[in-house]
Amino acid sequence: MSDFTADNGPAKGDAKSSLFHETTRTKRRNAAETRFKAYGIAAIATGLFFLVALLVAILGNGLPAFKQTFVTIPVELTEAKLDKNGNRDPADLAKVSTFGYKPVVTAALVSALKAEGIEIPFAKEEDVEDILSSSVAAQVRDTVLANPDLIGETVDFRLLASSRVDGYFKGRVTRDALVRDKNLDAEHLDIADAMVAAGLMKTTFNADFIFGSDASESRPEQAGIGVSMVGSLFMMIVVLALALPIGVAASIYLEEFAPQNKWTDLIEVNISNLAAVPSIVFGILGLAVFIQIAHLPQSAPLVGGLVLTLMTLPTIIISTRASLKAVPPSIRDAALGVGASKMQSVFHHVLPLAMPGILTGTIIGLAQALGETAPLLLIGMVGFIASNMPDGITSGFLDPNSAMPAQIYEWAKRADPAYYERAWGGIIILLVFLMTMNIIAVLLRRRFERRW
């Protein structure tokens, strides 16, 4: 480097150079340092810019998914239509399908509009029902089946508006766009505006997006991430229950007990290599081994968890070994010196000291597994419409389900722009989970870290 050129030292003949004057050489070194600092600041600024852009994009696109437009109207549950025999027999009630409920809801909407003096500009008054989600008949039916005593009364229902109407209030749907849309007409929007003015319609926070289940392609307003969240939870339970003990046991053996020879070297190299294997490879391995050979159920969180365990193991082993290595050998000497066996020295002294590192590594591995999509593609956890909450622990592990990132991928794939918004919303939830896990990792590290 130019620092080593000798022609710019203190001037010759100048026997004593003053400390108050920078020599050319010093100047140049200082300039290089200043430049380097500037590069560093520029690099950080670029990173921060992208981070902010990312956050703005995610929040801007995703936050609307947490709000939904609801219509609140009184629905008269006429006995003549819903329970012809009048005996409230559950079997008879169940015979009335959503087709039987739909006219009841539509009639309720029409009469509510009339009561508020809102004009219905359609030839057939029933056409106004497009304002409501096609899920409302099922919602009313479920309520009635759960509580048959409501029949014959007039009950206030909070019903989902259709995704087009919802999109109109969120700015996604415009009147111009509706010209080519056969689902909704501009007149519906006029009615919707009037309903908002009359207090019948409101866009509010929608807990069902967080806790609900996925819905079919035509009903984005109903879709929620809750069931796939449960799927992810069950997968994480499998990963934690398998990867932590296996990983920690393997690391302790390799680090503390195994002799140093070419076999352990080979194992070590392979563990490092496994950490770098693309996750989709683990996916196809899981498909071949767990589903085709072991005949475990497809799309089940158990299989997903097993695959993610394979993927997380190297991460946990590497971080555990690093934290075991970081425990000073003097602690091992001390334990052996008072006559502890190798195992006692490890379990009584080394492992507790390595615990914060192990936990941090485990949580980071879990967070990685939580955000993993590719291996789930191959074992069938993507594309599945997770419409039912599992009924119990066994069903949670074995019944088909999805996972959060898989659900997000699935939504992003669907055509309706309302699903696009939900994909962003799902990403916010996923990020909240990941951030929580990372914060827990940091807190655990702070809490358990000991100095010696």
Partner 1 sequence: MNDMRIVRKDVDMNDTKISAKGVQVFYGDTHAIKDVDVEIKDKTVTAFIGPSGCGKSTFLRCLNRMNDTIDVCRVEGKILLDGEDIYDKRVDPVQLRAKVGMVFQRPNPFPKSIYDNIAYGPRIHGLAKNKADLDDIVEKALRRGAIWDEVKDRLDAPGTGLSGGQQQRLCIARAVATEPEVLLMDEPCSALDPIATLQVEELIDELRENFSVVIVTHSMQQAARVSQKTAFFHLGNLVEYGDTEQIFTNPQDERTESYITGRIG
Residues engaged in binding partner 1 (CB under 8 A): 259-260, 328, 330-341, 344, 348-349, 353, 450-452
Smallest gap from Cβ 334 to partner 1, in A, equals 4
Distance of closest approach, residue 441 Cβ to partner 1, in angstroms: 21
* Closer residue to partner 1 in complex, CB, 13/329: 329
The helix (run of H) or strand (run of E) holding residue 395 is helix 393-398
In sign, the C-alpha dihedral spanning 180, 183, 188, 193 is: negative
Q: Where are the alpha helices (DSSP H) in 253-382?
A: 262-275, 279-286, 301-325, 329-337, 342-344, 351-370, 374-378
Residue that the structure tokens 């989709």 belong to = 280
> Nearer Cβ to partner 1, position 198 or 331?
331
**Minimal distance in Å, beta carbon 333 to partner 1?**
6
CB nearer partner 1, residue 35 or residue 325:
325
Between 143 and 264, CB nearer to partner 1: 264
Contact, 341 vs 361, CB < 8 A?
A: no
- Shortest reach from residue 255's CB to partner 1, in Å: 13
Q: Is residue 394 a contact partner of residue 238, using CB atoms and an 8 Å limit? A: no
Residue 213 in contact with residue 138, Cβ under 8 Å? no
CB nearer to partner 1: give 180 or 450.
Answer: 450
In the complex, the smallest distance separating the C-beta of residue 312 from partner 1, rounded to whole angstroms, is: 29
Closest distance of CB 11 from partner 1, Å = 49
Tokens 């400390």 identify what position?
A: 19
Q: Each residue of 329-342: b (16+ CB within 10 Å) or e?
A: eebbeebeeeebee
CB of 448 to partner 1, least distance (A): 11
Phi, psi of 69 (to 5 degrees): -90, 125
The residue type of 265 is: D
Nearer to partner 1, 39 or 253 (CB): 253
CB proximity list for 307: less than 8 A, separation 6 or greater: 282, 283, 285, 286, 290, 375, 376, 379
Task: Name which of 21 and 451 has its Cβ closer to partner 1.
Answer: 451
Minimum distance between the CB of residue 320 and partner 1, rounded to whole angstroms? 19
Indicate the helix (H) or strand (E) that contains 69.
Answer: strand 67-76
- Please say which residue, 60 or 328, places its beta carbon nearer to partner 1: 328
Nearer to partner 1, 20 or 452 (CB): 452
For residue 344, the minimal CB distance to partner 1 (Å) is: 6
DSSP for 11-51, written as a single string? PTT--S--TTS--HHHHHHHHHHHHHHHHHHHHHHHHHHHH
Q: Which tokens belong to 142?
A: 């479920």
CB atoms within 10 A of CB 239: 27
Alpha helices in 155-294, H assignment, sequence order: 163-169, 175-178, 186-198, 207-211, 226-252, 262-275, 279-286
CA distances (Å), 347 to each of 241, 328, 351, 352, in order? 20, 15, 5, 7
Collapsed DSSP state (helix, strand, coil) of residue 383: coil
Closest CB to partner 1 among residues 180, 451: 451
Whole-number minimum distance, CB 37 to partner 1, in Å? 39
Q: Strand pairing of 201-205 and 154-160?
A: unpaired
